Homo-oligomer: A and B are copies of this chain.
Amino acid sequence: MRHLLSTQGIDRAAAIHLLDIAEDMADVGQREVKKLPTLRGKTVVNLFFEDSTRTRISFEAAAKRLSADVINFSAKGSSVSKGESLKDTAQTLAAMGADGVVIRHPSSGAPHVLAASGWIDAGIINAGDGTHEHPTQAFLDAFTIRRRLHGAASRGKDLDGVTVTIVGDILHSRVARSNMWLLSSLGAVVTFVAPPTLVPANPSAWPATIGYDLDAAVDADPDVIMMLRIQQERMHAAFFPNSREYSRNWGLDDARFARLRADSIVMHPGPMNRGLEISSAAADSAQSSVLEQVTNGVSVRMAALYLLLSGDREDS
């Protein structure tokens, strides 16, 4: 793997390979000394054009656990605000010897531009670009589902036939998009549930069914229900009447949670708006995998950094 930009079009075998390496990395996290020398002497740059402390520290922890040197580059106060282009920034990082660049950018497609440009030879990981993709989030979600279903026997497994319902702001969610592509490639059956105002105009080519009725979706008995975060800025933009209305129609409240099968998996990418898209009872239940997702995020990001930066990096 040369870059990790997207999960769209990803090959099932390649996806399983990354998940299996993440299993090895999770084992490292159980050791007394949680550190591998694998990426010693490599430099990973966290190039964040948007604030995201959670994602940044997850990548930072992953890189450090592999003994890489980490340099945090927040676009605020940088040359970027002096008008430096993405091209010049990328070439500068390349010239300084960056082996990997983890990029978060408000513009959809920015990581692809970087990877396709030839400006930089480093491995590029998309850590969220606009409303487009967030592939490591999808991998950590797939990893979490696989572990819940197969436990220690997860290696080599896909998600054939697993039903996953993703609820919330599908229109703006890179998490929803990346999960849809990855989960369907792994054989899962994906359903989106959203207010009609928060669904893209023409998603007919998507490998997902779209519904508007969360109660019906709950009663359809999915294996996994994934609640998306409502961004504060959406609430003021007339996509739905108000937060109480949203919660009543599209929130996983206590009543809906009680109707789920006892071994269904409740997911959320965090940070949660407790009482809005998810109730605290649901979030803190044994069915909830919210914290496993965070833990698995470090393992999955270690796997991605390993695949991109170790000697075994492929050319395609």
Contact = CB atoms under 8 A, between A and B. Distances in A.
Interface of A: 29, 31-35, 40-43, 45, 51, 53-54, 57-58, 60-61, 64-65, 69, 71, 73-74, 77-79, 82-85, 88, 91-92, 94-97, 232, 270-274, 290-295, 297-298, 311
B95 A294 contact: yes
A94 B53 CA distance: 15
A94 B34 contact: no
A53 B41 contact: no
A176 to B, nearest CB: 19
7 contacts: A35-B40, A82-B232, A83-B271, A84-B272, A92-B270, A92-B291, A96-B297
Name the prevailing secondary structure of the A interface residues: mixed
Contacts of A61: 43, 69, 71, 96-97
B71 A29 contact: no
A41 B51 contact: no
Contacts of A274: 85, 88
Contacts of A58: 96
Given A29-B97, A94-B291, A95-B292, A79 B271 contact: yes
Contacts of A74: 53
Contacts of A31: 41
Contacts of A41: 31-35, 65
B79 A53 contact: yes
A82 B295 contact: no
